[in-house]
Amino acid sequence: MASSEELRDLEQVSPDSPPKPPPEPPLAAPDFVTVSLALKDVRAVLVEQQQLRQLSFTQLNILFVVNTALLSVLSITRLIFSQTPFSLVEIAGFALSFSLLIYALLPRTPLVTPNPKNLDIEESLAKSANDYQIQMLSNFQEVYRANQQRIDDITQALLLASLTLWATVIVALLHILTAIFAQ
């Protein structure tokens, strides 16, 4: 004989509605080994993220050098001081490129975890090893997101600075060619 609960379920199901999927079993608590492996993987990703940040600063330095070298060439040849539209575009390009590079260079403090300043030692020591590692995974996730936003800001500024620099180089080359053929 069907229980009242089963009868209610049968009454609610119309012939046109799809059958209800079975309920998902509750997630099992992660074991210590799994959490340890996840922590190891997350730490490796954070190290890679830090290396990407360093690579961005290397690219920043290269763009500063190229920008300065191009400005020097145009200054030595006195082309940047001529009264032409090329000079105005070159000056605007350099100003924009240097501004973007300086923006990328602005200090952005990376987050770290655990932050000793905010660490509640008694609370941390009261947790089991598994719970502590799960908390660290959550902290690492937050740190990754915050640091990735900082890196994204830097790489966006570098991309815009390099595009501006390329446009300035093209204008400078056209300026040089115009000056050569005008003589």
Average pLDDT over the chain reads 83
pTM higher than 0.75: no
Is the pLDDT at 162 greater than 90? The verdict is: yes
pLDDT 10s digits, 140-155: 889 899 999 999 999 9
pLDDT 10s digits, 24-50: 655 666 777 888 888 888 888 888 988
How sure is the predictor about 9, in pLDDT bands with cuts at 50, 70 and 90? low
pLDDT 10s digits, 112-125: 877 777 777 777 77
CB 59 within 8 A of CB 151: no
In single-letter form, the type of residue at position 170 comes to I
CB 107 within 8 A of CB 60: no
The region that residue 78 occupies, defined by phi over 0 for left and psi between -120 and 50 for alpha, beta otherwise, is left
CB 165 within 8 A of CB 97: yes
| pLDDT of res. 58 | 93
Q: Give every CB contact of residue 108 below 8 A, 6+ residues apart in sequence.
A: 150, 153, 154
Rounded to whole angstroms, the Cα distance separating 167 from 70 reads 12
CB 164 within 8 A of CB 102: no
How sure is the predictor about 7, in pLDDT bands with cuts at 50, 70 and 90? very low
